[in-house]
Amino acid sequence: MKVTGGCHCGAIRYAAEVDPATSAICHCNDCQKLSGSAWRGIVRTRAEDFRLTGEPRVYLKIAENGARRGQAFCADCGSSLYAFTPPDPEVISLRIGSVDQRADLPPQRQIWCDSALPWALDLTTLPATPRQ
């Protein structure tokens, strides 16, 4: 599936070919902290299928599993865009919130569920407001 996306302010844009079957929700502590939310939605693309316009800032960190991970975001608006394993990534994890076609990428699985916040696993009982 072809997707486009980018940051909130428009300084960075990308295009990619993704496999919707790789769409997931990650509950790890790193994703919670880095997203400022209870989880983060991701979808994978191969590096060769990813085209970027603009220059993201990259924060390098050690993931919970010990791997080095680059976290790419817009230095102007702070939008989280993708993650990768340096120095030569084969796979890039796009942040679903930055994908223009995000409504077409429902999660196919959940990962790092041991770190999930108990209340974040089922939000269907909460009152819902269409727009505020």
Percent of the chain with pLDDT over 70: 99
Q: Within a domain: residue 120?
A: no
> At 7, is the pLDDT very low, low, confident or very high (cuts 50, 70, 90)?
very high
Q: What is the pTM of this model?
A: 0.89
Largest CA distance in the chain: 45
Structural domain of 101: 2-115
CATH of the domain at 87: 2.170.150.70
Contact predicate 44/19, CB 8 Å = yes
Residue 41, phi then psi, degrees to nearest 5: -90, 135
- Of 4 and 31, the structure prediction assigns the larger pLDDT to 4
- pLDDT at residue 74, as a whole number: 98
How far apart (Å, rounded) are the C-alpha atoms in residues 125 and 67?
Answer: 37
Whether 124 maps to a domain, the answer reads: no
Q: What pLDDT digit, counting tens, does each position of 55-96 carry?
A: 999 999 987 678 899 999 999 999 999 999 987 789 999 999
Domain count, the chain: 1
